[in-house]
Chain A
Amino acid sequence: MARAAIRRTRREFLKTSATLAAGAGAKLSFPAPALAQRPKLVYWCYQFLKASDEARATFAQEWAKKNNVDLQLTMVPWKEFMPKITAAIEAKATPDVVESGGVELRARGQLLDVTDLYKKAEKTYGGWVGPSSKIMLEPDGRVHTLLYGLQGFMMIARDDLLAQAGLKPPPATWVDLLAYAKKAQQPPKIFGIGQAISNQTDSQVWEDIMKSYGARLADEAGRRVILGDYKQQVWEFLDYFDAVWKSGVLPPGVTTWDNTMNNSTYQSGKVVFVFNPVTISLWLEANNPELLAKTGHYTYPSGPKGRIQPLTYGSRSIMKYTKVPDLAKQFLWDSMEPSKMDREMSVAQWGPVLNAYTSFDVWKKKPFMKSLIDMSLKGHPQGYPDAFNDAWQEQSTNTTISRMLQRIVVDSWSRDKAFAETLDVLSKIYAKYA
């Protein structure tokens, strides 16, 4: 039997539809405000060392769960951070909290003032360690980025090879280092010093050595280039560099090394000395404990005018465009809690930034980590004795001093010509920020 067709008028159809829509809307209207009330936090996490990255990411996720926050976490490799944040700022789509890049972004007025958190941490956790305060405090006393770890290049050495050569580490001066390297190396299998002279920032070591010979780039205010007044010191440094270059202690290819090459060369047992953060040793701990056992960790050697041991850092900052400033500040504060930092520092390359962190077990358990306390206490802010400002930063990323050295050894320029070009480049860069 055929079913009778159910016929509805247009009015009836609209009425039914409206009722259903209203009902559905009413039903959905209950959870909707709850979703809207859950705050969102976008966090760009510095990606560098797997275990450390995981520790920070795990903390962030647990923190978000505990505080009912909708966390959007992005791991950003160190090398990609500036291009990515540059694009984000230009597109006005920045994250709320960022790691890394604190100083660059601070100088460009992109960060929220966190002086209150700086003072609170100083009071609560027994004060800041080494040059941490100098790095964070701006001339007007404000703070826009909070350090969570100090990091610096250390002298990492094959103690076993030095012992075989009858040498007792560490070499006290740069001249001693060259003598040690010459005696302990076994070319072409093992070279003395695995140090880049390239257009990559690891070449910064040469500027540090030059400064330990007494030179500096700019005046106290960091505005006027005065390297020209230090020609004698630069020439002494170039004498030393010349001796290093001609002695054959540098592996072939250092003039185009990128920032990973000193790591991989040491890890494969092909050099006696490198200058790098302890990331090398953390890798060895997991992958080659035998080589780690033969490895020593030391602060830089000294030059005729003392030791220059610059420190970089890991930091967290809040972008000024954030819509959740209080939540972001809460996240920064909770991130600094000592028990959380204890877990994190046991798998990271960072030295302590707060006195409350110096009693962590990790510094006692691992001898190579112990050296991080020494480094944090004795280190200088980046650029020292120059002011760490935009101009210094630009000449540093431009690898100006390493380029001068390359002019001499790659392009066979005279010292005078290379030095004149360096002064010209420095003057051009500093003039932009004067």
Chain B
Amino acid sequence: MRESLGGMGLLAPTVLILLGLVLYPFCYAIWLAFSDKAVGSAGQWVGLRNFAYVIAWPQFSAAVFNTVVFTFSAVALKFVLGMSVALVLNQRIRGRNFFRAFLLLPWVMPAFVVYLVWRWLYDPLSGLINYALMDLGIIGSPIAFLSDRSTAMPSVIVAHVWRNFPLYAISFLAGMQTISQELYDSAQVDGASRVQQFRYITLPGLYHIIGVILLLTTIQTANAFEPVYLLTGGGPSDATMVYTMLVYVMGMVNLRLGEAAAVSTLFLPLLVGLVLVVTVLLQRKANA
């Protein structure tokens, strides 16, 4: 009894700090959503008024749609690209160590620099991509990648994927190196093709890593702010308006903290739902 009390006593400071750092801000954000809190004012309880206001706001439905499109597309592309690169770098190729280090370059660069470089690459007047395409005779006039509704979101996704896929690749590569070579040797003796080896040895061996990476990066991607803020500002019109951008505009530009918190709170079930779907699917796969 005394031992367990002592243990709880030792844990208490950590628990209190965690409660203070996690639970308090979380509850405060929820309270903000139900108040007319603006910068510098105490804020009064307004019930569901903020929720009604933001749901009726023209950019809100676009933000829901765009956040889902951005998150699913970016996570899927990062997964495919990361896995492909990991498979290549898991082979015995010349300069393997150099390429493994080189792979991390986009990931270690500050997001601000990365997205400004991409903005320049996309620029229709002086950007490298348009210059190259026109020089090669592929296009006759420059394409405003970031300013056309049909190309803006794909362009933002490409820039985001470029910066973030190395995390996937490095994680998968680390997982691949824990899979015993003997399994591949046995499979080869049994006549298994490369695809079959990947399907029945590599992929099952990576399930836990895939689970953790997908879980964390789905949350991270849904909360991504810099790519949209730095590349398009949510435009053209509302073509790339994601929920983080809407929160920024309402909270930091218009100084309406209650409304900004209401947008965040409305997205909370969506994010939790996304996480649950990913977790359940992976758990089922792992248990199968």
Contact = CB atoms under 8 A, between A and B. Distances in A.
A419 to B, nearest CB: 13
Given A198-B236, A252-B125, A403-B237, A410 B253 contact: no
B144 A411 contact: no
A254 interface: yes
Interface of B: 38-41, 53, 56-58, 123-126, 141-144, 146-149, 152, 231-237, 239, 249, 251-257
A188 interface: yes
A406 B255 contact: no
A275 B8 CA distance: 66
A108 B146 CA distance: 36
Contacts of A407: 237
A335 B13 CA distance: 50
Interface in A378-407: 394, 397-398, 403, 406-407
Given A90-B39, A251-B124, A421-B58, 6 more contacts: A82-B252, A199-B233, A256-B231, A270-B125, A398-B249, A410-B239
B28 to A, nearest CB: 10
B125 A251 contact: yes
Given A82-B253, A398-B249, A428-B53, A188 B142 contact: yes
Contacts of B152: 256
B233 A406 contact: no
B142 A410 contact: no
A255 interface: yes
Instruction: Tell me what chain B mostly uses at the interface: helix, strand, loop, or mixed.
Output: loop
Contacts of B249: 397-398
Interface residues of A, number: 37
Most B CB within 10 A of own CB, among A110, A256, A403, A428: A256
30 contacts: A83-B252, A86-B255, A89-B39, A89-B40, A105-B40, A198-B235, A198-B236, A199-B235, A200-B233, A253-B125, A253-B146, A255-B144, A255-B237, A256-B147, A256-B233, A256-B235, A256-B236, A268-B126, A270-B125, A397-B253, A397-B254, A398-B253, A403-B237, A406-B235, A406-B237, A410-B148, A410-B236, A410-B239, A425-B58, A428-B53
Contacts, number: 96
A123 B24 CA distance: 52
A109 interface: yes
A258 interface: yes
A279 interface: no
A199 B234 contact: yes
B105 to A, nearest CB: 26
A394 B237 contact: no
B57 A394 contact: no
Pick from A255, A258, A394 the residue with the most CB of B within 10 Å.
A255
